[in-house]
Amino acid sequence: MKRARYEKSKKAYRSARKFLPGGVNSPVRNFAGVGGAPVFIRSGKGSHVADVDGNDYIDYLGSWGPLICGHAHPDVVKAVTKAMQGGSSFGAPTERETELARLVTDAFPSIERLRMVNSGTEATMSAIRIARGYTGRDLVIKFVGCYHGHVDGLLVQAGSGATTFGAPSSPGIPKGYTRNTIALPFNDLDAVKRVCARRGKDIACIIIEPVAGNMGVVPPKAGYLEGLREVTKKLGIVLIFDEVMTGFRVARGGAQEVHGIDPDMTTLGKIIGGGLPVGAYGGKAEIIDCVSPVGDVYQAGTLSGNPLAMAAGIATLKRLSRKGFYEKLEKKSANLAAGLEKSARDAGVPTFHTRVGSMMCTFFTEEPVTDYDSAKKSDTKRYARYFHSMLDRGVYFAPSQFEAAFVSEAHTNDDIERTIAASADVMRTL
Ligand code: KE4
């Protein structure tokens, strides 16, 4: 199929940069991780998106995870249209908020209470404030390579030693904001035990992506999450599973269902909004009831729980609660992963593949990837060539080696076969 050039995208990019830093409203979108100018998307339907030049793509970005049912699913379109006709926002309680909360707690037994917010960042920021309010402690442990949104106190790079507190990883964050944040290597339980042995009584919470998706996809080592649960229970540290990406993705009940772990708090986002802005934090009632107006920890939001976002989330969660939804998704995802792995092996290109459910990653490296240090050894230039060559063939992966590819309900077997064939072609050129 002859591919249109990207002229209109380039023109759109020039216009956008007059008003928007980097021409985008979120940094990773502007292809800095792979070079070149971003394509501007005009529309999406099912598993495909079309850019402003009329090029069609099989989409494995899915808006970075939310669109597990595909773009513009009729159920979601119908629900949001109906909601809009009744008014978009009231700043007052509505029954749709209760309905979405019920669907979430039905899938996540560890969540007894929750609150809706408007993004994953709001969810994690609020969860940490509540963990600190509940425990009366200040310290937070996070993990290098895990991303929890652009929360000041969580934008830290690891200190040189395990117990060195994080230094801000972005200008604009006062040193004091990260003084209480300890950044440790992912998948290293001994590092956590050493810090907890010394400072356990001062640690409010540990926040972790139970399956990391922001350094590429990196699953937890056997026993790692269980070890975190044990040490936090013993020391009264709140264990927060950041399932903004993994919630309803790797299983209906997220990574905590896959690994059988009962965290104290969970943060959610992406899929629960069905493509509209929704985040949520939830967990044990005695912890969540610390938040205003029941408790004294303050958190608020004008559009939290708005009818449109709730309608999109409800329609999406109802779809993925259907019998066989995840079994079908698992089969398609396994086929794609096997095909991509084979395409690299047949071409003699060293890659390391990871997958948990319908989120996966092809690392361009010979070594196993188990944490951020090993992920960083990937050949990002080779990934960039792979990305652009696949894009030219009508396959849209994440514009960064350190992200995930997502399969949706809408992806067809033909999509998967075409993707594998394109990958086989491209790998031979790398
Ligand atoms: P948002 O504030 O972007 O809704 O969510 C922040 C967040 C929190 N926790 C996890 C585990 C996340 O993956 C995210 C956001 N994920 C990125 C993709 N890696 C969003 C894409 C972007 O930043 O544009």
Mean per-residue pLDDT, 251-275: 98
Q: Write down the pLDDT at residue 149.
A: 96
Round the CA-based radius of gyration of the chain to a whole number and report it. 21
Residue 164 has a pLDDT of: 55
Q: For domain 74-320, say whether CATH 3.30.70.1350 is its number.
A: no
pLDDT of residue 167: 79
Half-sphere exposure of 282 (CA within 13 A, CB side): 26
Distance CA 113, CA 371 (A): 32
Report the DSSP beta bridge partners of residue 247. Answer: 251
Mean pLDDT of 212-224: 98
Residue 242: active-site member = yes
Q: Compute the mean pLDDT over every residue in the chain, rounded to the nearest whole number.
A: 96
Q: What percent of the chain has pLDDT over 90?
A: 94
Pick the CATH number of 7-60+324-427 from 3.90.1150.10, 2.40.110.20, 1.10.10.10, 1.25.40.10: 3.90.1150.10
Going by C-beta distance under 8 Å and a sequence separation of 6 or more, which residues neighbour residue 342?
Answer: 420, 424
Angle, vertex CA 419, rays to CA 412 and CA 272, nearest 5 = 55
Average pLDDT over residues 330-334: 98
Check residue 162 and give its pLDDT: 45
- CA dist 50 → 31, 193, 219 (Å): 17, 49, 32
Distance 22 CA to ligand 1 centre (A): 18
Active site residue 270: yes
Question: Catalytic pick from 53, 59, 242, 379?
Answer: 242
User: Would you say residue 317 has pLDDT above 70?
Assistant: yes
- The CA–CA distances, whole Å, from 56 to 70, 78, 324 equal 15, 25, 29
Burial class (CB in 10 A: 0-12, 13-18, 19+), 2: exposed
Instruction: Output the CA 198–ligand 1 centroid distance in Å.
Output: 32
Angle between helices 189-199 and 224-235 (to 10 degrees): 10
- Residue 116 contacts residue 291 (beta carbons within 8 Å): no
The model's pLDDT over 34-60, given as tens digits with 9 standing for 90+, comes to 999 999 999 999 999 999 999 999 999
Domain residue extents for the chain? 7-60+324-427, 74-320
What pLDDT does residue 323 have? Answer: 97
CB 416 within 8 A of CB 336: yes
Is 386 tagged catalytic? no
| Number of other residues whose CB lies within 10 A of the CB of residue 274 | 29
Whole-Å CA distances, 27 to 80, 211, 326, 356, 384: 28, 23, 31, 26, 17
Percentage of residues in the chain having pLDDT higher than 70? 97
> For helices 95-107 and 307-320, what crossing angle results, to 10°?
30
Distance CA 215, CA 46 (A): 27
Model confidence at 3: pLDDT above 70: no
Average pLDDT of the segment spanning 59-73: 98
Q: How far apart are CA 9 and CA 12, in angstroms?
A: 5
Which tokens go with 319?
Answer: 């779809």
Residue 65, both tokens: 């995870």
pLDDT tens-digit profile of 150-186?
A: 999 999 876 555 445 677 889 999 988 889 999 999 9
Average pLDDT of the residues in 137-143: 97
CA distances (Å), origin 164, targets 132, 136, 156, 161, 346: 20, 22, 11, 5, 45
Q: Which of 47, 21, 95, 63 is nearest to 336 (CA)?
A: 47
Task: Find, among 410, 266, 394, 224, the residue nearest to 329 by Cα.
Answer: 410
Read off the pLDDT of each residue in 106-131 and give the average, rounded to a whole number: 98
The model carries a pTM of 0.97
Half-sphere exposure of 193 (CA within 13 A, CB side): 9
pLDDT in tens, 69-79: 999 999 999 99
Pocket-forming residues, ligand 1, beta carbon under 6 Å:
26, 28, 64, 119-121, 124, 147-149, 209, 213-214, 242, 244-245, 269, 279, 403
Per-residue pLDDT tens digits for 265-279? 999 999 999 999 999
Specify the residue with its C-alpha closest to ligand 1, atom 8: 148
